[in-house]
Amino acid sequence: MLNYYIVDMEKKFLKLNDKFNKQTSLFNDLINLFEENKNQIFKNDTKKISEVRKQALEKFSKSELPTLKHEKWRDTDLSKTLSKNYKYYFDAEENNSEIGKTFKCVVPQLDSLSFTFVNGWNTFESELITLEDGIIIGSFSDAMKKFPEIVEQHFAKTFQPEKDFFSLLNTSYAQDGFFIYVPDNVNSQKSIQIVNIINNDENIFLQPRNLVIIGKNSKLSLIHCHDSVNQKNSFTNSVTEIFLNENSNIDYYKLQNLNNQSTLLNHTNFYQNTNSNISSNSISLNGGLIRNETCVEIEGEGCAANVYGLFLMDDKQHIDNHIFIDHKKSNCVSNELFKGILDDNASAVFNGHVLVRQDSQKTEAFQSNKNILLTDTAKINTKPFLEIYADDVKCSHGATVGQLDNEALFYLRSRGISENNARMLLMYAFAAEVINKISIEPLKNRIDDMVKKRLRGELSVCDQCVLHCGTPEKEIDFEIDLSKI
């Protein structure tokens, strides 16, 4: 039985002027919606989880809708996307699994296991799967049924700002998403790929909730894709919590290629124990409004957190990268590198915040954000913040905004390379620094191709699956004879 509600946002959100009334009614609406569908939401819950939800909802009802007046949202305007009507489903649609089967995503030569979500709902044939090496993968809803203790222990336990509107909303409504449990001492060679596909005839609002737990001395590589396959509006409010136990490792790749009508709020919360390593790489190729909010809580000594990102935006796309790294313990290293190219009327926000707490001595934290503006209508706002309360640290940040180097362009052109190709080459070289951070070779090649395609304007969201994953790899290269250079 299809069970959905229309969240009639148009009348409630929007316009800051009489913000108060509208917010109140939106709150009531979302709270009422929750009350009305309690049974559906609580279906798989244990008592404890229901309690967490109720608390989150209570906090949510006291929080404020983010508007441009909020410091963290001053450059990202949600009023337009929130002025649309969205449908909210409390149950999976019937034909989802069909779609899930159609869109198989295979990265050539990549040894991976792929799992597909359609409109936020899993399309898995069986419940939780246990792999040979003991890794458990499945849907969040099934995990709540089968491993209530593990879920209880981790659900909503990472850093969640008390007042973060969307995280709280997600926690109270969370129904489905992926669940990965890696036991101790497992070093998996296989990558796990999670594909989120948005394919709907109407505008939809979805809230996936993901949970990843990595045991001691274990390693996981995870590829997390967000794709849309048509031009409908969508609003995704996703929260992913990743727990790293001692000596564990994660290679985490986010690939975002959504249509221009979509909104993606992507919260990723890392919780690091002693000697754990994070390498996170978010590649944003397309999307109407993307906000990647990454929080890293460093709770043990000897940790390393590497957070990289690349964004290539054009048209009226907007990307917002918020990174918060909380150095709570000594002897840890964090690295941030975000690069972006903006064309047409695109706009981007980078907000990196490194907090080094008192007594977190011997911390090293580096932040870098580099941007290229190709037009006079593109906008960039960058805010690399450092907040430091310990003295024996090495911290630095840098931010640049510029354009393609004219001299380099001239050099290439003087060697007979067309202006277009020369520009492509320079842009690609700029982006390559981030791409080269990808440690899985086949994935790197794949993303490399996609970035090249994107720069040439060939990669767009169409009725076919965006990634053309089924098609064999075609050598895509620049039409230049590099030997001439």
Partner 1 sequence: MKAGKDKIIDEVTQNDYKYGFVTDIETETAKKGLTEETIRFISKKKNEPEFMLEYRLKAYKKWLSMKMPEWANLKIPEIEYQDIIFYAAPKKREDLDSLDEVDPELLNTFNKLGISLDEQKKLAGVAVDAVMDSVSVKTTFSDTLAKHGIIFCSFSEAVKNHPELIKKYMSSVVPSGDNYFAALNSAVFSDGSFCYIPKGVRCPIELSTYFRINAANTGQFERTLIIAEEGSYVSYMEGCTAPQRDENQLHAAIVEIVAHKDAEVKYSTVQNWYPGNKEGKGGIFNFVTKRGLCKGENSKISWTQVETGSAITWKYPSCILKGDNSNCEFYSVAVTNNFQQADTGSKMIHLGRNTKSTIISKGISAGKSNNSYRGLVKIAKKAENSRNFSQCDSLLMGDRCGANTFPYIEARNKSSIIEHEATTSKISEDQLFYCNQRGISTESAIGLIVNGYAKEVLKKLPMEFAVEAQKLLQVTLEGSVG
391 interacts with partner 1 by CB under 8 A: yes
Q: How would you class 30 by CB atoms within 10 Å of its CB: exposed for 0-12, middle for 13-18, buried for 19 or more?
A: buried
Instruction: Give phi and psi for 392, each to the nearest 5.
Output: -90, 70
129 interacts with partner 1 by CB under 8 A: no
Could you tell me the two tokens for 377?
């209508």
403 interacts with partner 1 by CB under 8 A: yes
345 interacts with partner 1 by CB under 8 A: no
- Binding-residue total with partner 1 (CB under 8 A): 36
- Residue from 99, 131, 395, 408 binding partner 1 (CB under 8 A): 395
386 interacts with partner 1 by CB under 8 A: yes
- Residue from 312, 378, 426, 434 binding partner 1 (CB under 8 A): 378
358 interacts with partner 1 by CB under 8 A: yes
Which residue, 396 or 420, is less far from partner 1 as judged by CB?
396
Strands 277-286 and 4-7, bridge-based pairing: unpaired
Which residue, 400 or 464, is less far from partner 1 as judged by CB?
400
Segment near partner 1 (CB under 8 A); pick from 37-45, 137-145, 266-274, 366-374: 366-374
Amino acid at 262: S
Q: Are 356 and 326 in contact (CB under 8 A)?
A: no
Instruction: Give phi and psi for 415, each to the nearest 5.
Output: -100, 25
400 interacts with partner 1 by CB under 8 A: yes
Which residue, 397 or 456, is less far from partner 1 as judged by CB?
397
Of residues 176, 180, 177, the one with CA closest to residue 136: 180
Check residue 109 and report its DSSP letter: T
385 interacts with partner 1 by CB under 8 A: yes
396 interacts with partner 1 by CB under 8 A: yes
C-beta of 419: minimal distance to partner 1 in Å? 15
377 interacts with partner 1 by CB under 8 A: yes
Of residues 373, 294, 372, 391, the one with CA closest to residue 335: 294
Q: Are 325 and 357 in contact (CB under 8 A)?
A: no
Amino acid at 141: S
Q: How far is CA 240 from the centre of its chain?
A: 8
C-beta of 397: minimal distance to partner 1 in Å? 5
407 interacts with partner 1 by CB under 8 A: no
Task: Catalog residues that contact partner 1 under the rule CB under 8 A.
Answer: 71, 358-359, 361, 371, 373-403
